[in-house]
Structure 1
């Protein structure tokens, strides 16, 4: 018995195998149309944005379209009255669909002439079954279109008629500031219509965003006024490690993520060609994150359980991109654990305290002044700082100032007195005393070490050249 004979008998089904395949592709669409919820989402998009919508199959054929396309006249039907224009639009839709799959998001692009489109894919069990095309729309009112744009439309293929102008005026207009929101809206709509969802595409988008952020950090590293030797990168890693610990302690997820991107950039610059060493460095980073989570109040049993699971997952990863996305997820889970086990109000207060210190470290600061900023008594604020950080507020201020001073010490043209003043110390001798207490050496010795390291790196670079 052949495959066609095995198919269930149905008056709509043809004995042609290829026609059967085409009908099979539309079954999911029929199912959505019958589901009031899915159809309500589609109509909601059209009503809220004012943009016509089409559902195309993977080859670009129209499976469903909104009422706009049934009106007479409408712009798309007029310009697609010849095969040339239809091909331009079809190719624009298919290209945007390919790009949306590549980047993991809805794509905003030009359709034809001055007409814009937004395209998002529909997936079923990970396979493309079609795409949503929100088009036509303009970014400016038709009266604001440039003469050359209209000339490109009317020259040769189309005649300027009253019907054409009426159709042009019927095209909805979306302002520049609104486009991003419409793009996100269409992607959410496509996600709700996909089966099960667009989770795989969202992962692609997250990976692309992460790659971009790490690439920015690598570019910043290469723009630093020093050689990127193994020694200098290790020191830079150590500095950033201390910063991420502070951010994690505060529950500052976004701040910790930014530092994590810098740490990943440093690791990638060092071990880009050696994936195993890259994984070892990521493992070290994982240990730092888990230790910090425990030190800041997360339950040790839960963190150890998480860490065991993370190490098992890490062993299975075989791709650099996957590795970077994974460690960001680990950071989020660690901060979740910390946040769950500690006072949420205190987190917000401490975050405001540290933000205030970062903004005003070069000014005279007192416990009373900072306490007023977050509407607490000085004694209550001191108690919270001691409980959460195990130190005093004055020590927190001093650590921020010393970190700022260390960066300035790399510039040999700035005097010690100037640096002390710029980071908030009115007295150079007190600056020296605090610096030695925190760093274990005087600012003068620290500067000499920086200078010596810079000379060594330069000589190494010259000898290798």
Structure 2
């Protein structure tokens, strides 16, 4: 294999790792079969990396041009120029090849890889004499049958400018899908690399500490890992997402530092963390049946992981899944508790109510129900109780058979003076003046 072939092979292998050969073949073949146009994937030097010959072959015209080595080189240079122009502007580039055919290129830009999908081999007008003469000039010097080439050119498909533009746009969509798939893999790789660097730095720092402080310090670190696991349970239970993620990284450092060469042991230790985190999630209010389903899913995923780097990223995503579920579940339960507290207040506003009474009714601590009520409705329990009582008072004040004293008592205010002060603060007028306006 010469140096040029090695370069092409290296480029193709790199692209296949990002996107996958099957996906590349499938997308190019789907485009070719749906449009009837041959599509090829080229690099920035015009080298063909993937071709859809098995789906759509070159036209006779192109076969004859490429049968000559100089003609094939000219085709490659046309592709390289089209790739450069398409990548320069980041959009489909419609061009005439060296032999005069209409083609177009859609750019693919993935990190260090620059390439394009090329397709076409059509005409946009009826071939006239001057065009055939122009072709004769273009192929001059090639060892081919000029008359046969001119005849083949006259048989080429003629496409309108609208169809050419539509095909170019569709090709651009295919190229963007390939880039999006590659970008997803690149982002994951970068995330793994970044986490690997962080963990490697922690591991090296830990090793230096162990060397400096000897066996005793190493035992202390082991003991600290148990403390960290207990701390992790507490943080998960309390829904402390950011702090929990940071602590998990430290635990992963502990685990990898001692088991870096034993992937099976690493998986076992991390599965122990899954159990610890899931139990803490249940303690934090998550549904046990849902947590057990997640555990089963995580166990299956864990079996398929083959490297410590993937394992660390997987552990991070596992924790995030648990924390998001716990947060969602807690929010739902909080909303239900707020609704029950509000309903209890509306039903019992005439009675003398305290925060303890309301908390007991919804089976939560006074401090917790006060906090979530304030967060959910923007007012305290007592403020909400006052608002309910004032709204009821307004309804009663509109009825002639009730005087202000009766209204105050019936709406839950024991002190008429306090009732008047609260009513005026919320409504801007005294109860007596409100009653005059209402009647």
Q: TM-score range by the shorter chain?
A: 0.3 to 0.5
Normalising by structure 1, report the TM-score.
Answer: 0.38
Normalising by structure 2, report the TM-score.
Answer: 0.40
The structure having more radius of gyration, on CA atoms, is: 2
